[in-house]
Structure 1
Amino acid sequence: MFYCLEKRLMMRRKTLLLLLFVLSIISTKIHAQNSEEPPLNDATLSALIDYALEHQPAVKKATIDQEITDLQVKNKLADWYPQVNFNYNYQRNFQLPVNIVDGNSIRFGVDNSSALQFTATQNIFNRDVLLASRTKDDVRFIAEKQVENAKINLVANVSRSFYDLLATQQQLRITEENIAMLARSLKDARARYDAGVADKTDYQRATIALNNAQASKRAIEEALRAKLANLKYLINYPEDRELTLQYDSATLENEIYLDTLSTAVYTQRVEYQQLQAQLRLQEANVKYNKWSYIPSVSANGAYIRNFQNNALSKLYSQGFPNSYAALTLGFPIFQGGKRKNNISIAQKQVEQTRLDIENFTNQVNSEYQSALAQYKASMANYLALKENMELAAEVHRIIELQYREGIKTYLELITAQTDLRAAQINYYNAVYSLLSSKIDVLKAQGAINVK
C-alpha cells in the first residue's frame, strides 16, 4: 500500500515538473516574439537611416572604440592621484643569517618575522601624466569624430542604395505596365489577323515583344532581390524579415535641387578636424620629448609595522613600527643622444601632419569639383530625359490612335511603345542618379549632419 502511494506521488511530481518545463519554454518563446522589433514596412529613407545608425556594426564598433579611448584617458589621468598600496609579508627562517663580528660568526634574527606595509606615492612632475592631461581633449575629440565619420559614410551609402533600389523598382513597374500593354496589343493583333484585316506578322511581332519584356522583367526582379539584400546588409536588417519602402516620387523630385554656387568649406569635413587635432597631438609630443630634460619628481612615504618572534604563536604579540616620507627626483644624465633624436622625430612628424592637412585641403576641392561636375551633368541629363519622356508619351498616344484608325502600321506602334518604355526607365534612372550625385556633393562639402 505504501509502495503504491509513493509511486503515485513520484508520478505526480514528474508530471508537475514536465508541465513547468513546457510552460517555461512557451513563456520564453512568447517573450522572444514580443521583444522582436516590428518589421520595417513602408520604410522611408529617414527611417532606414535611423535603423542603420542604431544597428550597424561599423557604427557600434566606432562607438566602442570611443568608449575604450575614454577609459584609456582616464587610466592615464589616474596617475595624478595618490597611489596607495598595502603589502603583507611573512617569513620563516630555517637558518638565521650569519654576521662576522670581531672575527666571530654570529647568527642574528628570529625564526619568524612578518611585516604590514602601507605605501603612498604622489606624482609632482611626470611627463607621461602631464602629456595625458594636456592632450585628453584632443584624443577624445578624434575618437568622437571617428564615430561621426562612420555615421556619415553609413548615411551616404544607405541613401545611395535606397535610390538605386527605387530606380530598379520603377524599372519593374514600367516593365509590368509595358507587359500589360503588349498583351493587349497581342490580343488586338490576333483579332485583326483572325478578322483578315492584318497579316500574321503583326501578332508575331507582338509575341516577340511580349516575350522580350517578360524576360526583361525576370532580370529586373533578380537585380531587385540583390539590391534589396545589399540594403538589408547596410542597415544590418535580418535577411529573413520583410522590408518594404515608402516614397513619394514628387517629393523626391523636389529634393534633387542643390545650390551649385556654394563652395566647399574644408573646415566642415570631419577628416580635416581630425587632422587638426592630430597636429595638436604631434605638437604636444614635441613638448613631451623636450620635457625629458626636466627631472621627474614624486613624493612618497610608508608606514611599516614589523613583527618578530621565535615562537609562531607569539609572532603578533608585539609590533615594531617605522615610517618615513621622501622626495624622489629622477634625472637621466646621458642616454646616447636618444632624447635629442626623439625631439627631431617628433618635429618631423609635425611637419608630416601639416603636409597631410595641406594635401587634404587640395583633395577636398578636387572631390567637391568632381562631385559638382557630376551633379551638373546628371541635372542636364535629367532635364533632357524628362522632356524625352513627355515627347515619347505624346508620340505613343498619337501613333496608337492612328494605328487603330489604320493609318500607322503595327511596327510603328511597337517602336513607339519601346521608345516610351526606354524613355520612362531612363527618366527614373536619371532622377535617382541625380539624388545620388547630390549625396556625393553634400559629403564633399561636409554638409551631411548626423548629430
Structure 2
Amino acid sequence: MTLCFEKWKRRIGLTITGLSCFLGVHLNAQSQTGDTTLQRATLAGIIDYALTHQPGVRQAEINQEITDLQIKNRLADWYPQVNFNYNYQRNFQLPVNIIGGNQVRFGVFNTSALQFTATQNIFNRDALLASRTKGDVRLVAAKQTENARINLVANVSKNFYDLLATDQQRKITDENIAMLSRSLRDARARFDAGVTDKTDYQRATIALNNAMASKKEIEEALNAKEANLKFLINYPGDKELSLMYDSATLEQEIFLDTLQAPAYTRRVEYQQLQAQLRLQEANVRYNKWSYIPTVSANGAYIRNFLNDDFAKLFNQSFPNSYAGLTVGFPIFQGGKRKNNIVIAERQVEQTRLDLINFSNQASSEYKTAMAQYRASMANYQALKENMELAKEVHRIIELQYREGIKTYLELITAQTDLRASQINYFNAVYGLLSSKIDVQRAEGSIQPK
C-alpha cells in the first residue's frame, strides 16, 4: 500500500512540474509577442516596427507566399498523377440483351472494383510554361513586396521629419513664451516705476497671448501628426510614442551627391516591367506551343469483384490492367490559336512601350526631385544664416532695451523675427531631409531591410 502511494505521489509531482514548465514557457512567449510598443522610437526603430507590423507589407508578403505555392501547384503537373477509386454497385435488375431473339440477362447482382490509375505528362504546355517562367513570376511577387517596403520607408521617414518639425515649433514657442513672460514682467516693472507708459506691457501682454494661442494650435497639429504616424506604422493608438532623435545628427544627414548619375534600372518598377516583358514573351511561345500535340502516358490496374451473393463478393477477384499513350491535337479552332499568338505579341509590344514610358517618367521624377532638393538646400543655407543673424540682433536689442536705448516695440519685433527664423530654419532642415527621401526614391537607392 505504501509503495503504491509513493508511485502515485511521484506521478502527481511530475505532472505538476510539467504543467509549470509549460505555463512558464507559454506566459513568457505571450510577454514576448504581446509587447507592441517601441522602447526606442528613433527613426530606424520606427521603420523596423512599421516593416514588422504594417498590414500593407504583410499583405504583400502573404501574396508572395501565395504566388510561390501557386507555382508549386503548376509544377506538380510534371509529377505522376496517381489516383485510387473504390466502387461498389448493387444491381436490383440485371441488364438484358437480345441474342438470337432470346432475352439474355448479363452480369451479377453485386459488383465491386478497386482502381489504381496513373498519368504522366510528357508534353504539356501549361506545365512547361510554369517551368520556364517560375523565376520571373517569383521575381514580380518579390518586387511587389519590396516596393511596398520602399514606399513605407519613404512615407514613414517623411512623416517622422514632419512630426519633428512641428515638435521643434512647439519647443521654440515654449522658449518664446518664457521670453515674452520675462519681457512682460520687465515692462510691468518699468511701468510701475514710471519709466515707461502702459503701452509697453500691454504690447507684451498681446504678444504673450498670441504665443499662447500659437502654442495650442501647434500642440493640436502635433497630436494629429502623431496619430497619423501611429496609423501609418500600425502602432497602438492608446500607447505613448516618444520620439528619440538628435537634431545635430539629422542635420549632418541632409547632404546628397547631386552629381551622381541616376540608374533607373535600380527602380523596383523597372525591374518588375522587365520581368513582365519576359513573361509576355514566354506567353507568345506558350501560344505557339498550341500547335504541338499534348502527350501523356497513362495506365491503370483494376481489380473487379463479381458475385450474386453479397457475402461471397470478395471471395474471388478478376483483375485487369493496361498502359497507354494519349496524344491530343486540336485540328481546327476557327483561327483561335493564331489570334492568341497575335494578342500575345501585341502585349509584348505594350510592355516594351511601358518600359520606355517608365524611363521617361523616372527621369522626370528624378529631375523634379533633384530640383526641389537643390532649392531646399539653398533655402536651408539662407535660413540658417538668417537664424544666426536674428539671434545676434535680438541679443543686441535686448541689451539696448534694458539700457533704455531701444523701445519695447523694437524688442518685440526682434523676438518675433528670432522665433520666425528659428521655425523657418527647422522647417528647412526637415523639409530638406524629405526632399532627400524623394530623390532617393526617384533614383531607386532606398534599400529597406
Q: Scaled by the length of structure 2, what TM-score is found?
A: 0.93
Is the counterpart of residue 309 in structure 1 residue 313 in structure 2? no
Contact 2:37 2:236 survives alignment (8 Å)? no
AA of the residue aligned to 2:274? Q
Among 377, 383, 386, which residue is 2:384 paired with? 386
Q: Aligned partners of 2:40, 2:141: CA distance in 1, in Å?
A: 35
Show the counterpart of 1:402: 400
| SS across alignment from 1:245 | coil
Deviations 1:192-250 (A, max 9, x none): 00000000000000000000000000000000001111111111111111111111111
Contact 1:368 1:444 survives alignment (8 Å)? yes
Show the counterpart of 2:61: 63
Deviations 1:67-98 (A, max 9, x none): 00000000000000000000001111111111
Show the counterpart of 1:188: 186
Q: CA deviation at 1:40?
A: 2.0
Show the counterpart of 1:17: none
Among 362, 365, 368, which residue is 1:367 paired with? 365
| SS across alignment from 2:83 | strand
Q: Aligned partners of 2:315, 2:36: CA distance in 1, in Å?
A: 71
* Percent of paired sites with the same residue: 77
Q: CA deviation at 1:102?
A: 1.2
Q: CA deviation at 1:27?
A: 9.7
Q: CA deviation at 1:32?
A: 8.9
Q: CA deviation at 1:445?
A: 0.6
- Aligned pairs for 1:23-62 (under 5 A) are 34=31, 35-37=33-35, 39-62=37-60
AA of the residue aligned to 1:284? A
- Aligned pairs for 1:408-447 (under 5 A) are 408-447=406-445
Q: CA deviation at 1:43?
A: 1.6
How large is the RMSD of aligned CA atoms in angstroms?
Answer: 1.6
Q: Aligned partners of 2:162, 2:368: CA distance in 1, in Å?
A: 21
Contact 1:399 1:416 survives alignment (8 Å)? yes
Q: Aligned partners of 2:414, 2:373: CA distance in 1, in Å?
A: 30
Q: Aligned partners of 1:70, 1:36: CA distance in 2, in Å?
A: 30
Contact 2:297 2:323 survives alignment (8 Å)? yes
Q: CA deviation at 1:33?
A: 7.6
Task: Give the direction of change, closer, same or farther, for the CA distance of 1:30–1:128 in structure 2 (3 Å limit).
Answer: closer
Q: Aligned partners of 1:357, 1:229: CA distance in 2, in Å?
A: 38
Q: CA deviation at 1:31?
A: 6.5
Deviations 1:367-416 (A, max 9, x none): 00000000000000000000000011000001001100111000000000
Show the counterpart of 1:354: 352
Show the counterpart of 2:235: 237
- Aligned pairs for 1:51-450 (under 5 A) are 51-450=49-448
Q: Aligned partners of 2:231, 2:119: CA distance in 1, in Å?
A: 53
Contact 1:264 1:364 survives alignment (8 Å)? no
Q: Aligned partners of 2:37, 2:97: CA distance in 1, in Å?
A: 84
Q: CA deviation at 1:36?
A: 3.0
Contact 2:293 2:327 survives alignment (8 Å)? yes
Q: Aligned partners of 1:126, 1:114: CA distance in 2, in Å?
A: 34
AA of the residue aligned to 1:363? Q
Q: Aligned partners of 1:288, 1:40: CA distance in 2, in Å?
A: 51
Q: CA deviation at 1:289?
A: 0.4
AA of the residue aligned to 2:44? S
Q: Scaled by the length of structure 1, what TM-score is found?
A: 0.93
Runs of 5+ unmatched residues, structure 2: 1-22
Q: Aligned partners of 2:391, 2:97: CA distance in 1, in Å?
A: 114
Q: CA deviation at 1:42?
A: 4.2
Deviations 1:32-59 (A, max 9, x none): 9835326324421111111111111011
Aligned residues: 427
Q: CA deviation at 1:105?
A: 1.6
AA of the residue aligned to 2:400? Q
Deviations 1:121-151 (A, max 9, x none): 0000000000001000100010001110000
Runs of 5+ unmatched residues, structure 1: 1-25
Deviations 1:230-277 (A, max 9, x none): 111111111111111111111111100000011221100000000000
Show the counterpart of 1:20: none
Q: Aligned partners of 1:264, 1:41: CA distance in 2, in Å?
A: 37
| SS across alignment from 1:345 | helix
| SS across alignment from 1:124 | strand
Q: Aligned partners of 1:439, 1:218: CA distance in 2, in Å?
A: 30
Deviations 1:294-329 (A, max 9, x none): 000000000001110000000010000000000000
Contact 2:36 2:235 survives alignment (8 Å)? no
